[in-house]
Structure 1
Amino acid sequence: MNLAEQPDSLSAVAIDHPLQSHPQTRPTLLCLSHLRWGFVYQRPQHVMSRLAQDYDVIFFEEPVFDDHATPHLDHSQPAPGIEVVVPRLAHGLSEEQVADAQRALLDELLQSRGAGELLLWYLTPMSLAFTDHLKGAVTIFDCMDELSAFRGAPPRLVDMERQLMTRADVVFTGGYSLWEAKQRQHDNAHPVPSSVDIEHFAAARQGLPEPADQAAIATPRLGFFGVIDERFDIDLVAQLAAQRPDWQIVLIGPVVKIDPATLPRLPNIHYLGGKRYEELPAYLAGWDVALMPFAINESTRFISPTKTPEYLAGGCPVVSTPIHDVIRGYGQSGAVTIADTASAFVAAIEAALGQKGSADFLRSADAALDGMSWDKTSRFMKEQIECLR
């Protein structure tokens, strides 16, 4: 049973009244991540924070390399029940030495904790290099993206994912397009699109104090928040800004894996850098239209952007390029417009300006968000794990 097939009654169950747990000591959930907990607050943080109510979560990140470092682990606790662990290793180690060092550090950590039942949650198949000896009561692969299509993907990633598919007891995918591809490789795969914290972003509908770095920017404002990387359509943004110099484009988020010098620099494009998750509603409150200018390429073929429901929860009309899962999930909603060229983007934005805050738009946005929540998503994931324990 996939997430879309959950009975309506399930959505009424609160996350703080979980499924019946086993009576013994809480299991340790080891989450092996290629993403930093403190980078961008997204699916892993939402899910792990909720699962931490029932499991002791160790969020094990990729290593940081220092000059002459003695191998050790840095520990932090960013949220209740979450222990973030970062290996620190010396520069110059071979790939095999890096794997061996992480294996030794992780084994020592698990032994020191006296971990009993172990659940293995993989966000990246590459972590198999130092965990293939571990035997989890349940092995989970949360396949959020087609990582092999991303710029700089390790050559071994495809083979490692094939191995992980063989070992995994359950596979979750970040959207329906990705599930259509992965369900042919695993007989217990479920589409689990990213969800939204509606209450958090709905604060933008009420009007919030203007952030200082956005307050001086003229209107109308078109906004984007998220990672700016190879999935971002630089040319589209440049054309949009050039065609309508009276529109102000506000871009929020870190620039990753692309040269910042390649980004368009026009007077009406404003790069405000990364912001904390808590700050995003205040920026969203000041936008007239939210943008999803994703390039159409291999790295976006299977994406299911989290920002779609976040923008809608904030009461902001959305214009997006034709991402398959956006079309499938929101194309007929009346709250999201799909545009495939710069001229179509301009026309769609012109139509969307003035919709924000209208009763008709808010009804459409709320209908598109009906039943969505990270609580429900996390509850579904936990249910699949508990069925396998």
Structure 2
Amino acid sequence: MSALEHDRTAPRRAVDPPRALADFDLVCLSHLRWDFVYQRPQHLLSRCARARRVFFVEEPVRGDALPRLECSRRDCGVTVVVPHLPPDLDEDETEMVLRCLVDDLIGSQRLGNYVLWYYTPMALGFTRHLQPAATVYDCMDELSGFWGAPRALGERERDLLRSADLVFTGGRSLYEAKRALRPSAHLFPSSIDAPHFRQARAVQPEPCDQAELGRPRLGYFGVIDERLDLELLAAAAELRPGFTFVMVGPVAKIDRAALPHRPNIHYLGQKPYAELPAYIAGWDVALMPFARNDSTRFISPTKTPEYLASGRPVVSTSIRDVVEPYGREGLVAIADTPAEFVAAVDRALEQSRRAEWLQRVDAFLARGSWDHTWAQMESLIAAAVRANRAGGISKVGPCSTT
């Protein structure tokens, strides 16, 4: 089964007409910043905002003397909500204040019929009392495997997996891991905004900070954090001093001093989503040098189909959700040791059957899109809202037993 398709083991539902699907607002509770990296939440919720109000509640910022909410509406229609808290609150006080702020948001916006959408189970600490029309947990990462994960995360996720009306998972590995607590979870792997990234197949204006870099260029875009194998990157750069390694993205959770610094490794920083095709157009090979550790055990990188849509050959380490199906289909080269990795890059640079490979890439990517993924999710949510309403269910927060 394609990793871009909805899980065929789950029952299919017909997509309802738009009028029937618009009868709820949505409040998302996230550990991610909306303006950080454009990924799964932004793709899905910007589509959700085409038909309803969407409020994206970020983790709090500390430093203000008095608690407050900062709300700002993005061009896509999503309202980003940033809680500002005093700096000296302990954990219990933080959750108490956040509970009041979320209540203020729901009251001031007159949110009567709303869906709660969780990206972080930690938000249960200040939302258990709410009465949403339905509750969704979109599990896009195994957060307990990340550095600095809160101690309460595992227990709260178990609560959310048991009680949410719907559980979506962002990759097959996560889906298989979460089915033990939620057999009815739905598999929705990373989809693709193919037209956006296909721009990289045509000549693009060269970004100024990349224009003078040597060729061949090997590129990566995404967060630079503990999920990357920095030793592999350093060793590959040393093995191929004539290659240029371009790293596009913010550095997070690791000390910049720990990054490998070689004459042929260039860190260009975070770039807007709209500019990524211009950068990729100047690469010869796209890289996914992920480490194999707890933080990558269940990842399903969104950048895999994005790289492929860009028309660039891809070399990745053996991340499970990349090996299956992309490696098995011969769309991505898999290599783990430095010697294997640079050898795979060498072969990619010499790729002689590019037209045939691109045909297979396009056929594969045609199986899924973010529009299609959101339409399926929206239909499932609308059905859950209607079922709760018809059953006269007054949900006492997402941690109630259903």
| TM-score bracket for this pair, using the shorter chain length | over 0.9
How is 1:163-312 mapped onto 2 (pairs within 5 angstroms)?
Answer: 163-312=159-308
- Whether the 8 Å contact between 2:166 and 2:185 is mirrored in structure 1 is yes
Percent identity, aligned pairs only?
A: 53
CA distance in 2, matches of 1:10, 1:182: 22
| Equivalent residue number for residue 127 of structure 2 | 131
- Whether the 8 Å contact between 1:228 and 1:253 is mirrored in structure 2 is yes
**Could you say if the C-alpha distance between residues 100 and 175 of structure 1 is closer, same or farther in structure 2, counting changes exceeding 3 Å?**
same
| Equivalent residue number for residue 331 of structure 2 | 335
| Equivalent residue number for residue 41 of structure 2 | 44
**Could you say if the C-alpha distance between residues 52 and 6 of structure 1 is closer, same or farther in structure 2, counting changes exceeding 3 Å?**
farther
Q: Provide Cα deviations, 1:201-237, integer angstroms capped at 9, x if missing partner.
A: 0000011010000000000000000001110000000
TM-score, with length taken from structure 1: 0.94
Letter in 1 for 2:141: D
CA distance in 2, matches of 1:111, 1:75: 14
Residue of structure 2 aligned with 1:382, choices 378, 381, 384: 378
| Equivalent residue number for residue 17 of structure 2 | 19
**Could you say if the C-alpha distance between residues 356 and 162 of structure 1 is closer, same or farther in structure 2, counting changes exceeding 3 Å?**
farther
| Equivalent residue number for residue 3 of structure 1 | 6
Letter in 2 for 1:294: F
CA distance in 2, matches of 1:238, 1:90: 42
Instruction: Write out the 4+ residue segments of structure 1 that deviate beyond 2 Å after TM superposition.
Output: 4-7, 18-23, 332-335, 354-358
| Equivalent residue number for residue 25 of structure 2 | 28
The Cα of 1:176 is off from its aligned counterpart by 0.3
Q: Provide Cα deviations, 1:172-194, integer angstroms capped at 9, x if missing partner.
A: 01100100010111132011111
CA distance in 2, matches of 1:80, 1:222: 32
CA distance in 2, matches of 1:165, 1:351: 44
Q: Provide Cα deviations, 1:83-105, integer angstroms capped at 9, x if missing partner.
A: 11000011011111111111111
| Equivalent residue number for residue 146 of structure 2 | 150
**Relative CO higher for 1 or 2, CA cutoff 8 Å, sep ≥ 6?**
2
Q: Provide Cα deviations, 1:338-372, integer angstroms capped at 9, x if missing partner.
A: 01211110111000004399312211221231222
Q: Which segment is superposed worse, 207-216 or 353-362?
A: 353-362
Letter in 2 for 1:63: P
CA distance in 1, matches of 2:44, 2:24: 16
CA distance in 2, matches of 1:20, 1:254: 37
| Equivalent residue number for residue 109 of structure 1 | 105
Q: Provide Cα deviations, 1:268-323, integer angstroms capped at 9, x if missing partner.
A: 00000110100100000000000000000111010000000000000000000000
Letter in 1 for 2:261: R
Letter in 2 for 1:100: M
The Cα of 1:31 is off from its aligned counterpart by 0.4
**Could you say if the C-alpha distance between residues 321 and 3 of structure 1 is closer, same or farther in structure 2, counting changes exceeding 3 Å?**
same
CA distance in 1, matches of 2:35, 2:92: 27
| Equivalent residue number for residue 363 of structure 1 | 359
Residue of structure 2 aligned with 1:58, choices 55, 59, 77: 55
TM-score, with length taken from structure 2: 0.91
| Equivalent residue number for residue 390 of structure 2 | none
- Whether the 8 Å contact between 2:170 and 2:190 is mirrored in structure 1 is yes
- Whether the 8 Å contact between 1:288 and 1:356 is mirrored in structure 2 is no
Letter in 2 for 1:39: F
Q: Provide Cα deviations, 1:99-141, integer angstroms capped at 9, x if missing partner.
A: 1111111101111122121201000000001100012111100
CA distance in 2, matches of 1:4, 1:71: 43
Q: Which segment is superposed worse, 325-334 or 307-316?
A: 325-334
Q: Which segment is superposed worse, 79-88 or 142-151?
A: 79-88
The Cα of 1:10 is off from its aligned counterpart by 9.6
Letter in 2 for 1:344: E
The Cα of 1:79 is off from its aligned counterpart by 3.0
Q: Which segment is superposed worse, 49-58 or 302-311?
A: 49-58
CA distance in 2, matches of 1:6, 1:152: 35
Letter in 2 for 1:350: D
The Cα of 1:383 is off from its aligned counterpart by 1.4
Letter in 1 for 2:236: L
CA distance in 2, matches of 1:282, 1:20: 35
Partner SS, residue 83 of structure 2: strand
- Whether the 8 Å contact between 2:13 and 2:380 is mirrored in structure 1 is no
Give structure 2 stretches of 5+ with no counterpart.
386-402
Q: Tell me the number of residue pairs that the alignment of Structure 1 and Structure 2 aligns.
A: 380
CA distance in 2, matches of 1:129, 1:215: 48
- Whether the 8 Å contact between 2:223 and 2:251 is mirrored in structure 1 is yes
**Could you say if the C-alpha distance between residues 50 and 362 of structure 1 is closer, same or farther in structure 2, counting changes exceeding 3 Å?**
same
CA distance in 1, matches of 2:372, 2:25: 22
Partner SS, residue 279 of structure 2: helix
- Whether the 8 Å contact between 1:205 and 1:357 is mirrored in structure 2 is no
| Equivalent residue number for residue 160 of structure 1 | 156
Partner SS, residue 76 of structure 1: strand
CA distance in 2, matches of 1:100, 1:308: 40
Partner SS, residue 65 of structure 2: coil
